[in-house]
A and B are shown apart, each in its own frame.
Chain A
Amino acid sequence: MSGEKEIYLGYTTDKAVTPFFKQFLEALEKQQLMKSTCKKCKSEYLPPRQYCQKCLTECELTEFTERDAKLVSFTVVEFAPESLASRQPYVVAIGEFPSGRRLTAHITNLMDMPKVGMKLKLSFERVSDKQVTYKWQV
């Protein structure tokens, strides 16, 4: 893919960026979070999948607009994998939207211990030239 702009999700640079995933990342750069919907059975996925898990039909990306969520669980990572060592400590959180859909991301503006059930709001951040992410804010 030489000549094309590199773009990755989150805080690592895993090279497995397919055209479908790239579309997701380019929307994320515009602060849009995309889910995917199966063209046949209408199953919805967040985070999105290219192929429906149930009927293996191709899915299309559509915007996911919920922003408010509740904290399902968390961990404060004090000893990180090598690839994220420079960011430690960081808070990983699973948040649940009112629709029941969930997303796993960092909470980036929290200084105290998180509490299960606390309110979260989804936000976006350009991490570097090549990295973009969604994140939780309290």
Chain B
Amino acid sequence: MTRRVAVVAGGHSKFGKRYDATMRELCAEAYKPVYDAGITQDRIDATVLSYAASQFTGQGAGSALMADSIGLQEKPHLRVESACATGTASIRAAYGMVASGLYDVMLVLGVEQMNRVSSATATEYMSRAGDMRWEYPYGISFPAFYALMASRYMAEYNLPHDVLSMISVKSHHYGAQNPKAHLPKEVSFEEANNAVPICRPLNLYDCSLITDGAAAVVLVAEPRVKEFTDQPMWIKGMGAGASEMMIQDRPSLTSIPGAKRAAKAAYKMAGLQPKDINMAEVHDCFSIAELIAYEDLGFAEPGKGRQLIENKEVYHTGRIPVNCDGGLKSKGHPLGATGVSMTYEVLSQMRKKAEKPTRQIKDVKYGLVHNVGQSGQFVNVIIYERGW
């Protein structure tokens, strides 16, 4: 791999229960700002289309539909899937193709439309991401996997549930300031801490949302970056990690081994350390997942992640701002779009384009994205560098 690769533009649909749209309209919404920025179809060589599951809509060959919806039906495209880490897996795939010289300009377009089915059905589909033979017959839903981590973490480190609720309060504080967010409202600590249980010890406010939405970014090879922008965001480091299929087979339930492996590889490639990172977008599919991410990414020692939220160091003015767009909890979690949305947010923060100053992070040189698939079977960590 000889060529550096930069993210030069991004687009983002409104996240939410989008009964007014199908995958087609969501894709158009996400690509439109990219098109308006002058990156028209003729300038794009190929596309990676990112969606996690066709069950939600019943649409097969979804990537063809997605490409067709934005006028890229004649350009090469393919779909990448890694459960909830699909978005960054797609960026990873595109990065490889651009860095290697196969293409100069690639669009990564992520989408998921999950609300065509009921919450119980969506929960059913997501539970099939557990081992179908040994886990699925016991009704281990997506929240249940993270609840298994939460109960262990709370016992090992004597963690009160209060700390998890503090994370939810932060997510909603920032989601309330993000016009693209699914649930843009503040919640009080009492509301979050006393919410109805979903999978004990996790309650409703510990869980991310079942969201429809799309996001897009454009990756360009170094020799051609100047044609597109004078504010490129370089891919500085990229790491991927994996973990055991069955959660019971993991030696520890208080961290995600694949996340640690991914982070290590990303820091090594970037030549950076956790202390160098100015902001992070982490995969808070559940409040406990954000807490564990602080530790897996090296922002805190094992068992000490709580200090970051208790001392507000993960707020936008703190030492390491995390998810100042509302995260999966408040912004929403349309599976295949999530990792792309995280990347879009880092680009927006670097360019000082946060919609409100009350969520604008001051000076972002290095931004990190941490995107976890299912309960940790796939993890991508990407470190981006401001190029101006």
A binds B: yes
Q: Which residues from chain A sit less than 8 Å from chain B, CB to CB?
A: 8-12, 14, 16, 21, 47, 72-85, 87-88, 90, 92, 94, 102-106, 113-117, 133
- The number of residues on chain B lying at the interface, defined by a beta carbon within 8 Å of a beta carbon of chain A, is 39
Instruction: Report A-chain residues with C-beta under 8 Å of the C-beta of B126.
Output: 81
Cβ of B197 < 8 Å from any Cβ of A?
yes
Bound complex: CA of A54 vs CA of B3, how far in Å? 37
Quick check: B137 and A74 within 8 Å, CB to CB?
no
Quick check: A74 and B133 within 8 Å, CB to CB?
no
Q: Which of B34-42, B99-107, B145-153, B365-373 contacts A (4 or more CB under 8 A)?
A: B145-153
Instruction: Report B-chain residues with C-beta under 8 Å of the C-beta of A81.
Output: 120, 123-124, 126-127, 139, 141
Instruction: Report B-chain residues with C-beta under 8 Å of the C-beta of A21.
Output: 133
- If A78-B197, A88-B139 are given as contacts, then 16 extra A-B residue pairs at C-beta distance below 8 Å, sorted by A number, are A8-B137, A9-B133, A14-B133, A47-B133, A78-B196, A79-B119, A79-B123, A83-B127, A85-B120, A87-B139, A94-B248, A94-B253, A103-B248, A104-B134, A105-B138, A114-B151
Bound complex: CA of A28 vs CA of B385, how far in Å? 56
Bound complex: CA of A82 vs CA of B124, how far in Å? 5
Top-10 shortest CB links A-B: A10-B137, A84-B139, A75-B147, A116-B155, A76-B200, A82-B124, A73-B152, A81-B127, A81-B124, A102-B248
Instruction: Report B-chain residues with C-beta under 8 Å of the C-beta of A76.
Output: 147, 197, 199-200
Cβ of B187 < 8 Å from any Cβ of A?
no
Given the contacts A14-B137, A94-B148, A79 and B248 also touching, CB distance less than 8 Å: no
Given the contacts A75-B144, A75-B151, A113 and B139 also touching, CB distance less than 8 Å: no
Quick check: A92 and B152 within 8 Å, CB to CB?
no
Instruction: Report B-chain residues with C-beta under 8 Å of the C-beta of A73.
Output: 148-149, 151-152, 155, 253
Bound complex: CA of A117 vs CA of B196, how far in Å? 26
Task: Give the distance to chain A from B34, nearest Cβ to Cβ, in Å.
Answer: 37
Quick check: A79 and B198 within 8 Å, CB to CB?
yes
Instruction: Report B-chain residues with C-beta under 8 Å of the C-beta of A11.
Output: 137-139
Quick check: B248 and A116 within 8 Å, CB to CB?
no
CB-defined A-B contacts under 8 Å, sample of 28: A10-B137, A12-B136, A12-B137, A16-B132, A47-B134, A75-B143, A75-B150, A75-B151, A77-B141, A78-B197, A78-B200, A79-B119, A79-B120, A79-B123, A79-B198, A81-B123, A82-B121, A82-B123, A83-B127, A92-B139, A92-B144, A102-B249, A103-B248, A104-B135, A104-B246, A104-B247, A116-B155, A116-B156
Interface-central residue, B124, B139, B196, by most chain A CB under 10 Å: B139
Q: Which residues from chain B sit less than 8 Å from chain A, CB to CB?
A: 119-121, 123-124, 126-127, 132-141, 143-144, 147-152, 155-156, 196-202, 246-249, 253
Given the contacts A72-B152, A106-B138, A79 and B253 also touching, CB distance less than 8 Å: no
Instruction: Report B-chain residues with C-beta under 8 Å of the C-beta of A85.
Output: 120
Quick check: B133 and A116 within 8 Å, CB to CB?
no
Quick check: B248 and A104 within 8 Å, CB to CB?
yes
Given the contacts A14-B132, A116-B155, A79 and B199 also touching, CB distance less than 8 Å: yes
Bound complex: CA of A12 vs CA of B141, how far in Å? 13
Quick check: A83 and B134 within 8 Å, CB to CB?
no
Instruction: Report B-chain residues with C-beta under 8 Å of the C-beta of A84.
Output: 138-139
Instruction: Report B-chain residues with C-beta under 8 Å of the C-beta of A117.
Output: 155
In-complex Cβ contact of B139 among A90, A114, A116 (8 A)? A90
Quick check: B248 and A77 within 8 Å, CB to CB?
no
Task: Give the distance to chain A from B97, nearest Cβ to Cβ, in Å.
Answer: 31
Quick check: A74 and B127 within 8 Å, CB to CB?
no
Quick check: A80 and B138 within 8 Å, CB to CB?
no
Task: Give the distance to chain B from A86, nearest Cβ to Cβ, in Å.
Answer: 10
Bound complex: CA of A85 vs CA of B123, how far in Å? 11
Nearest to A91 among chain B residues (CB) is B200
Quick check: B247 and A94 within 8 Å, CB to CB?
yes
Bound complex: CA of A85 vs CA of B124, how far in Å? 10
Task: Give the distance to chain A from B135, nearest Cβ to Cβ, in Å.
Answer: 6
Instruction: Report B-chain residues with C-beta under 8 Å of the C-beta of A74.
Output: 148, 151
Given the contacts A72-B152, A75-B200, A92 and B123 also touching, CB distance less than 8 Å: no
Bound complex: CA of A106 vs CA of B137, how far in Å? 10
